[in-house]
Structure 1
Amino acid sequence: MSQTNKLTGSERRKTILDWLRKANEPITGGELANKAGVSRQVIVQDISLLKAKNKPIVATSQGYIYMTDQTESNKWQRIIACHHEPEETRQELECIVDHGVTVKNVIIEHPIYGDLEASIMVSDRHDVNQFIDKVASTKAPYLLELTNGVHLHTIEAESKTKLEAAYQSLKKLGFIIDNK
Protein backbone atom coordinates (compact mmCIF):
# COMPACT_ATOMS: atom_id res chain seq x y z
CA MET A 1 0.00 0.00 0.00
CA SER A 2 1.88 3.02 -1.28
CA GLN A 3 1.41 6.53 0.03
CA THR A 4 -0.33 8.58 -2.68
CA ASN A 5 0.47 12.09 -1.43
CA LYS A 6 4.08 13.03 -0.83
CA LEU A 7 4.59 13.72 2.87
CA THR A 8 7.00 16.26 4.29
CA GLY A 9 9.90 14.85 6.32
CA SER A 10 8.31 15.59 9.68
CA GLU A 11 4.91 14.22 8.55
CA ARG A 12 6.62 11.09 7.21
CA ARG A 13 8.52 10.51 10.47
CA LYS A 14 5.30 10.97 12.47
CA THR A 15 3.58 8.44 10.16
CA ILE A 16 6.48 5.97 10.43
CA LEU A 17 6.32 6.22 14.21
CA ASP A 18 2.58 5.56 14.09
CA TRP A 19 3.04 2.51 11.82
CA LEU A 20 5.70 1.09 14.13
CA ARG A 21 3.62 1.68 17.27
CA LYS A 22 0.64 -0.16 15.76
CA ALA A 23 2.65 -3.05 14.30
CA ASN A 24 2.53 -6.45 15.95
CA GLU A 25 5.76 -7.51 14.31
CA PRO A 26 8.90 -5.85 12.91
CA ILE A 27 8.59 -3.79 9.72
CA THR A 28 11.51 -3.81 7.32
CA GLY A 29 13.04 -0.64 5.94
CA GLY A 30 11.90 -1.73 2.48
CA GLU A 31 8.30 -2.09 3.62
CA LEU A 32 8.37 1.34 5.27
CA ALA A 33 9.91 2.82 2.12
CA ASN A 34 7.17 1.32 -0.06
CA LYS A 35 4.41 2.52 2.25
CA ALA A 36 5.88 6.03 2.44
CA GLY A 37 6.79 6.23 -1.25
CA VAL A 38 10.47 6.98 -0.58
CA SER A 39 13.77 5.12 -0.81
CA ARG A 40 15.04 2.78 1.89
CA GLN A 41 17.92 5.21 2.52
CA VAL A 42 15.41 7.96 3.37
CA ILE A 43 13.82 5.57 5.88
CA VAL A 44 17.22 4.84 7.44
CA GLN A 45 17.76 8.59 7.86
CA ASP A 46 14.24 9.05 9.27
CA ILE A 47 14.80 6.26 11.79
CA SER A 48 18.10 7.86 12.84
CA LEU A 49 16.35 11.19 13.37
CA LEU A 50 13.59 9.53 15.40
CA LYS A 51 16.16 7.71 17.54
CA ALA A 52 17.98 11.02 18.07
CA LYS A 53 14.71 12.33 19.54
CA ASN A 54 14.76 9.38 21.99
CA LYS A 55 12.01 7.43 20.27
CA PRO A 56 12.35 3.78 21.36
CA ILE A 57 12.89 2.26 17.92
CA VAL A 58 15.12 -0.77 17.60
CA ALA A 59 16.54 -2.24 14.41
CA THR A 60 16.39 -6.03 14.49
CA SER A 61 17.31 -8.67 11.92
CA GLN A 62 13.58 -8.81 11.02
CA GLY A 63 13.06 -5.05 10.73
CA TYR A 64 12.27 -2.05 12.92
CA ILE A 65 10.18 -2.26 16.06
CA TYR A 66 8.82 0.26 18.52
CA MET A 67 9.76 -0.79 22.04
CA THR A 68 7.04 -0.34 24.60
CA ASP A 69 7.92 0.60 28.15
CA GLN A 70 8.47 -2.40 30.43
CA THR A 71 5.66 -1.21 32.69
CA GLU A 72 3.28 -1.16 29.72
CA SER A 73 4.10 -4.68 28.57
CA ASN A 74 3.44 -6.61 31.83
CA LYS A 75 6.30 -8.98 31.01
CA TRP A 76 9.15 -10.28 33.12
CA GLN A 77 12.78 -9.86 32.10
CA ARG A 78 16.00 -11.51 33.12
CA ILE A 79 19.61 -11.15 32.01
CA ILE A 80 21.45 -14.42 31.62
CA ALA A 81 25.18 -15.08 31.12
CA CYS A 82 25.93 -17.68 28.47
CA HIS A 83 28.89 -19.38 26.86
CA HIS A 84 28.91 -21.57 23.76
CA GLU A 85 30.44 -21.97 20.32
CA PRO A 86 29.05 -19.99 17.35
CA GLU A 87 27.67 -23.17 15.73
CA GLU A 88 25.55 -23.76 18.86
CA THR A 89 23.69 -20.46 18.49
CA ARG A 90 20.64 -22.03 16.84
CA GLN A 91 20.38 -24.63 19.61
CA GLU A 92 20.64 -21.92 22.29
CA LEU A 93 17.99 -19.67 20.71
CA GLU A 94 15.58 -22.53 19.98
CA CYS A 95 15.94 -23.75 23.56
CA ILE A 96 14.88 -20.33 24.82
CA VAL A 97 11.99 -19.64 22.43
CA ASP A 98 10.60 -23.17 22.85
CA HIS A 99 9.73 -22.12 26.42
CA GLY A 100 7.65 -19.15 25.20
CA VAL A 101 10.48 -16.74 25.94
CA THR A 102 11.73 -13.90 23.71
CA VAL A 103 15.45 -13.23 23.30
CA LYS A 104 15.60 -9.45 23.17
CA ASN A 105 19.32 -8.90 22.64
CA VAL A 106 22.89 -10.07 22.90
CA ILE A 107 25.46 -8.12 24.93
CA ILE A 108 29.22 -8.59 25.04
CA GLU A 109 31.93 -6.79 26.95
CA HIS A 110 34.46 -5.55 24.41
CA PRO A 111 37.95 -4.68 25.72
CA ILE A 112 37.99 -1.35 23.86
CA TYR A 113 34.36 -0.28 23.43
CA GLY A 114 32.89 -1.62 26.65
CA ASP A 115 29.41 -3.14 26.48
CA LEU A 116 28.19 -3.74 22.94
CA GLU A 117 24.51 -4.59 22.58
CA ALA A 118 22.64 -5.78 19.52
CA SER A 119 18.91 -6.33 19.30
CA ILE A 120 17.83 -9.84 18.29
CA MET A 121 14.10 -10.00 19.15
CA VAL A 122 13.43 -13.65 18.38
CA SER A 123 10.28 -15.20 19.86
CA ASP A 124 9.76 -18.43 17.95
CA ARG A 125 11.57 -20.88 15.67
CA HIS A 126 10.60 -18.92 12.57
CA ASP A 127 12.35 -15.84 14.00
CA VAL A 128 15.37 -17.98 14.94
CA ASN A 129 15.56 -19.35 11.37
CA GLN A 130 15.39 -15.84 9.92
CA PHE A 131 18.11 -14.63 12.28
CA ILE A 132 20.45 -17.57 11.57
CA ASP A 133 19.81 -17.33 7.81
CA LYS A 134 20.57 -13.59 7.82
CA VAL A 135 23.84 -14.14 9.70
CA ALA A 136 24.79 -16.88 7.22
CA SER A 137 23.81 -14.93 4.09
CA THR A 138 25.72 -11.82 5.18
CA LYS A 139 28.65 -13.87 6.52
CA ALA A 140 28.56 -11.61 9.58
CA PRO A 141 30.24 -12.98 12.69
CA TYR A 142 28.25 -13.46 15.87
CA LEU A 143 29.18 -10.97 18.60
CA LEU A 144 30.12 -13.90 20.85
CA GLU A 145 33.03 -14.59 18.51
CA LEU A 146 34.69 -11.43 19.86
CA THR A 147 34.59 -12.80 23.42
CA ASN A 148 35.35 -16.51 22.90
CA GLY A 149 31.69 -17.41 23.29
CA VAL A 150 30.88 -15.38 26.43
CA HIS A 151 27.80 -13.19 26.14
CA LEU A 152 24.63 -12.01 27.86
CA HIS A 153 21.01 -12.12 26.73
CA THR A 154 18.05 -10.17 28.01
CA ILE A 155 15.16 -12.60 27.89
CA GLU A 156 11.49 -11.75 28.35
CA ALA A 157 8.32 -13.72 29.02
CA GLU A 158 4.82 -13.41 30.43
CA SER A 159 5.86 -15.21 33.61
CA LYS A 160 8.86 -15.84 35.84
CA THR A 161 8.14 -19.55 35.45
CA LYS A 162 8.83 -19.46 31.71
CA LEU A 163 12.07 -17.52 32.26
CA GLU A 164 13.22 -20.05 34.87
CA ALA A 165 12.31 -23.02 32.63
CA ALA A 166 14.35 -21.58 29.75
CA TYR A 167 17.26 -20.86 32.12
CA GLN A 168 17.23 -24.41 33.51
CA SER A 169 17.13 -25.92 30.00
CA LEU A 170 20.12 -23.80 28.97
CA LYS A 171 21.90 -24.88 32.14
CA LYS A 172 21.33 -28.57 31.26
CA LEU A 173 22.88 -27.88 27.84
CA GLY A 174 25.92 -26.36 29.55
CA PHE A 175 25.31 -22.89 28.09
CA ILE A 176 24.85 -20.99 31.38
CA ILE A 177 27.77 -19.39 33.19
CA ASP A 178 27.23 -20.02 36.89
CA ASN A 179 28.27 -17.57 39.64
CA LYS A 180 30.01 -20.36 41.55
Structure 2
Amino acid sequence: MVRKGNRCISNDRRSTILSKLESSDAPISATAFGDLLGVTRQVIVKDIALLRAEGVPIFSTNRGYLLIRPVQLPRREFKVRHDYGETKIELALIIEHGGRVLDIKIDHPQYGEISADLNVISPKSLKNFLESFERPQRLSRLTDGYHKHTVEADSEETLDTIEKALGEHGFLSEPKQ
Protein backbone atom coordinates (compact mmCIF):
# COMPACT_ATOMS: atom_id res chain seq x y z
CA MET A 1 0.00 0.00 0.00
CA VAL A 2 1.53 3.31 -1.07
CA ARG A 3 1.17 6.09 1.48
CA LYS A 4 1.76 9.78 1.09
CA GLY A 5 2.62 10.82 4.61
CA ASN A 6 -0.11 9.22 6.71
CA ARG A 7 -2.51 8.95 3.75
CA CYS A 8 -3.01 6.18 1.25
CA ILE A 9 -3.07 6.94 -2.52
CA SER A 10 -6.63 6.61 -3.94
CA ASN A 11 -6.13 3.58 -6.26
CA ASP A 12 -4.25 1.71 -3.56
CA ARG A 13 -6.90 2.70 -1.05
CA ARG A 14 -9.70 1.31 -3.21
CA SER A 15 -7.67 -1.84 -3.79
CA THR A 16 -7.24 -2.24 -0.03
CA ILE A 17 -10.97 -1.64 0.56
CA LEU A 18 -11.83 -4.33 -1.99
CA SER A 19 -9.30 -6.76 -0.54
CA LYS A 20 -10.66 -6.27 3.00
CA LEU A 21 -14.25 -6.73 1.79
CA GLU A 22 -13.29 -9.92 -0.06
CA SER A 23 -11.74 -11.40 3.07
CA SER A 24 -14.52 -10.41 5.48
CA ASP A 25 -17.85 -12.05 6.22
CA ALA A 26 -18.87 -9.18 8.53
CA PRO A 27 -19.74 -5.62 7.49
CA ILE A 28 -16.89 -3.08 7.68
CA SER A 29 -17.82 0.52 8.48
CA ALA A 30 -16.56 3.55 6.57
CA THR A 31 -15.12 4.81 9.87
CA ALA A 32 -13.11 1.59 10.31
CA PHE A 33 -11.81 1.86 6.74
CA GLY A 34 -10.99 5.53 7.31
CA ASP A 35 -9.03 4.75 10.47
CA LEU A 36 -7.15 1.94 8.70
CA LEU A 37 -6.29 4.06 5.66
CA GLY A 38 -5.75 7.45 7.32
CA VAL A 39 -8.62 9.26 5.59
CA THR A 40 -12.05 10.51 6.57
CA ARG A 41 -15.25 8.51 6.47
CA GLN A 42 -16.46 10.74 3.61
CA VAL A 43 -13.44 9.79 1.47
CA ILE A 44 -14.29 6.11 2.02
CA VAL A 45 -17.94 6.71 1.03
CA LYS A 46 -16.69 8.27 -2.24
CA ASP A 47 -14.30 5.33 -2.79
CA ILE A 48 -17.17 2.88 -2.29
CA ALA A 49 -19.24 4.84 -4.86
CA LEU A 50 -16.35 4.65 -7.35
CA LEU A 51 -15.94 0.91 -6.78
CA ARG A 52 -19.68 0.42 -7.37
CA ALA A 53 -19.44 2.49 -10.57
CA GLU A 54 -16.75 0.03 -11.73
CA GLY A 55 -19.24 -2.80 -11.19
CA VAL A 56 -18.06 -4.09 -7.81
CA PRO A 57 -21.17 -5.47 -6.03
CA ILE A 58 -20.95 -3.73 -2.64
CA PHE A 59 -23.96 -3.79 -0.31
CA SER A 60 -24.51 -1.15 2.38
CA THR A 61 -25.88 -2.12 5.78
CA ASN A 62 -26.41 -0.02 8.90
CA ARG A 63 -23.20 -1.62 10.26
CA GLY A 64 -21.00 -1.10 7.21
CA TYR A 65 -20.22 -2.50 3.78
CA LEU A 66 -20.31 -6.08 2.51
CA LEU A 67 -19.22 -7.58 -0.77
CA ILE A 68 -22.04 -9.45 -2.50
CA ARG A 69 -20.65 -12.81 -3.51
CA PRO A 70 -22.38 -14.69 -6.31
CA VAL A 71 -23.70 -18.02 -5.15
CA GLN A 72 -22.20 -20.90 -7.09
CA LEU A 73 -24.74 -23.68 -7.20
CA PRO A 74 -23.62 -27.30 -7.62
CA ARG A 75 -23.10 -28.34 -11.24
CA ARG A 76 -22.45 -31.63 -12.93
CA GLU A 77 -21.78 -32.66 -16.51
CA PHE A 78 -23.81 -35.63 -17.70
CA LYS A 79 -22.72 -37.67 -20.71
CA VAL A 80 -25.87 -38.88 -22.38
CA ARG A 81 -27.09 -40.62 -25.49
CA HIS A 82 -30.53 -40.88 -27.02
CA ASP A 83 -32.42 -40.64 -30.28
CA TYR A 84 -33.51 -37.26 -31.56
CA GLY A 85 -37.13 -38.02 -30.66
CA GLU A 86 -36.22 -38.40 -26.97
CA THR A 87 -34.83 -34.88 -26.55
CA LYS A 88 -37.99 -33.56 -24.91
CA ILE A 89 -38.18 -36.53 -22.53
CA GLU A 90 -34.52 -36.16 -21.51
CA LEU A 91 -34.70 -32.42 -20.83
CA ALA A 92 -38.11 -32.65 -19.11
CA LEU A 93 -36.72 -35.36 -16.83
CA ILE A 94 -33.91 -33.06 -15.71
CA ILE A 95 -36.30 -30.12 -15.14
CA GLU A 96 -38.86 -32.25 -13.27
CA HIS A 97 -36.17 -33.40 -10.85
CA GLY A 98 -35.05 -29.85 -10.04
CA GLY A 99 -32.24 -29.30 -12.51
CA ARG A 100 -31.45 -26.50 -14.92
CA VAL A 101 -29.84 -27.48 -18.23
CA LEU A 102 -27.20 -24.84 -18.86
CA ASP A 103 -25.68 -26.08 -22.11
CA ILE A 104 -25.13 -28.86 -24.59
CA LYS A 105 -21.76 -30.06 -25.90
CA ILE A 106 -20.97 -32.40 -28.73
CA ASP A 107 -17.68 -33.76 -30.01
CA HIS A 108 -17.55 -32.88 -33.69
CA PRO A 109 -15.25 -35.07 -35.81
CA GLN A 110 -13.68 -32.05 -37.57
CA TYR A 111 -14.08 -29.13 -35.18
CA GLY A 112 -13.67 -30.76 -31.78
CA GLU A 113 -16.00 -29.86 -28.93
CA ILE A 114 -18.86 -27.56 -29.87
CA SER A 115 -21.08 -26.11 -27.16
CA ALA A 116 -24.22 -24.02 -27.07
CA ASP A 117 -26.01 -22.37 -24.17
CA LEU A 118 -29.48 -23.79 -23.53
CA ASN A 119 -30.60 -22.33 -20.18
CA VAL A 120 -33.60 -24.66 -20.02
CA ILE A 121 -34.89 -24.04 -16.51
CA SER A 122 -38.64 -24.61 -16.66
CA PRO A 123 -41.32 -26.35 -18.72
CA LYS A 124 -41.95 -23.04 -20.52
CA SER A 125 -38.28 -22.55 -21.42
CA LEU A 126 -38.16 -26.18 -22.57
CA LYS A 127 -41.14 -25.57 -24.86
CA ASN A 128 -39.51 -22.40 -26.25
CA PHE A 129 -36.23 -24.23 -26.80
CA LEU A 130 -37.87 -27.13 -28.65
CA GLU A 131 -39.79 -24.71 -30.89
CA SER A 132 -36.68 -22.73 -31.79
CA PHE A 133 -34.17 -25.57 -32.16
CA GLU A 134 -33.57 -25.83 -35.92
CA ARG A 135 -31.18 -28.65 -36.79
CA PRO A 136 -31.09 -31.07 -33.88
CA GLN A 137 -31.73 -34.14 -36.01
CA ARG A 138 -28.62 -33.57 -38.13
CA LEU A 139 -26.45 -32.98 -35.06
CA SER A 140 -27.89 -36.03 -33.37
CA ARG A 141 -27.06 -38.17 -36.40
CA LEU A 142 -23.56 -36.72 -36.62
CA THR A 143 -22.72 -37.76 -33.03
CA ASP A 144 -24.88 -40.91 -33.00
CA GLY A 145 -26.92 -39.27 -30.24
CA TYR A 146 -23.96 -38.77 -27.86
CA HIS A 147 -23.70 -35.39 -26.14
CA LYS A 148 -23.10 -33.75 -22.76
CA HIS A 149 -25.15 -31.37 -20.65
CA THR A 150 -23.99 -29.16 -17.81
CA VAL A 151 -26.78 -29.29 -15.23
CA GLU A 152 -27.12 -26.98 -12.24
CA ALA A 153 -29.25 -27.69 -9.17
CA ASP A 154 -29.76 -26.45 -5.63
CA SER A 155 -27.87 -29.38 -4.08
CA GLU A 156 -25.62 -32.34 -4.82
CA GLU A 157 -28.48 -34.59 -3.70
CA THR A 158 -30.68 -33.13 -6.46
CA LEU A 159 -27.92 -33.82 -9.00
CA ASP A 160 -27.68 -37.40 -7.68
CA THR A 161 -31.45 -37.78 -8.15
CA ILE A 162 -31.19 -36.45 -11.71
CA GLU A 163 -28.32 -38.81 -12.47
CA LYS A 164 -30.32 -41.75 -11.14
CA ALA A 165 -33.38 -40.78 -13.23
CA LEU A 166 -31.28 -40.38 -16.39
CA GLY A 167 -29.75 -43.80 -15.73
CA GLU A 168 -33.12 -45.45 -15.13
CA HIS A 169 -34.36 -44.09 -18.46
CA GLY A 170 -31.24 -45.34 -20.26
CA PHE A 171 -29.95 -41.87 -21.15
CA LEU A 172 -26.56 -42.01 -19.41
CA SER A 173 -23.80 -43.05 -21.78
CA GLU A 174 -21.26 -43.44 -18.96
CA PRO A 175 -22.93 -44.43 -15.70
CA LYS A 176 -21.19 -43.32 -12.50
CA GLN A 177 -18.84 -46.04 -11.20
What TM-score do the two structures reach when normalised by structure 2? 0.57
Which residues in structure 2 correspond to 1:53-64 (within 5 Å)? none
Matches within 5 A, 1:24-43: none
SS in structure 2 of the partner of residue 75 of structure 1: coil
1:123 to 121, 124, 134: 121
- Contact 1:74-1:158 at 8 Å conserved across structures: no
Once the two structures are TM-superposed, the CA of residue 140 in structure 1 deviates from its matched residue by 2.2
Conserved? CA contact 1:100–1:124, under 8 Å: no
| Equivalent residue number for residue 26 of structure 1 | none
Q: Which runs of 5+ in 2 are unaligned?
A: 1-68
What secondary structure does 2:136 align onto? coil
Letter matched to residue 146 of structure 2: V
- 2:93 matched to which residue of 1? 95
| Aligned residue identity for 2:173 | I
Candidates 110, 113, 137, aligned match of 1:112: 110
**CA contact 1:107–1:117 (8 Å) conserved in 2:** yes
Match of 1:171 among 141, 163, 167: 167
Equivalent residue of 1:72, what SS? Answer: coil
Q: Secondary structure at the match of 1:132?
A: helix
Q: Which runs of 5+ in 1 are unaligned?
A: 1-70
Quote the sequence identity (%). 31
The answer for the alignment partner of 1:140 in structure 2 is 135
Question: SS where residue 158 of structure 1 aligns?
Answer: coil
Q: TM-score w.r.t. structure 1 length?
A: 0.56
| Matched residues, number | 107
Q: Which protein is bigger by CA-based radius of gyration?
A: 2
Give the C-alpha shift of residue 162 in structure 1: 0.8
Q: Equivalent residues in 2 for 1:39-54 (5 A)?
A: none
Q: Output one character per residue of 1:112-169: Cα deviation in whole Å (capped at 9) or x when no partner.
A: 100000110001111111111112xxx4225333201000000001100111111110
Deviates more, 1:144-153 or 1:83-92: 144-153
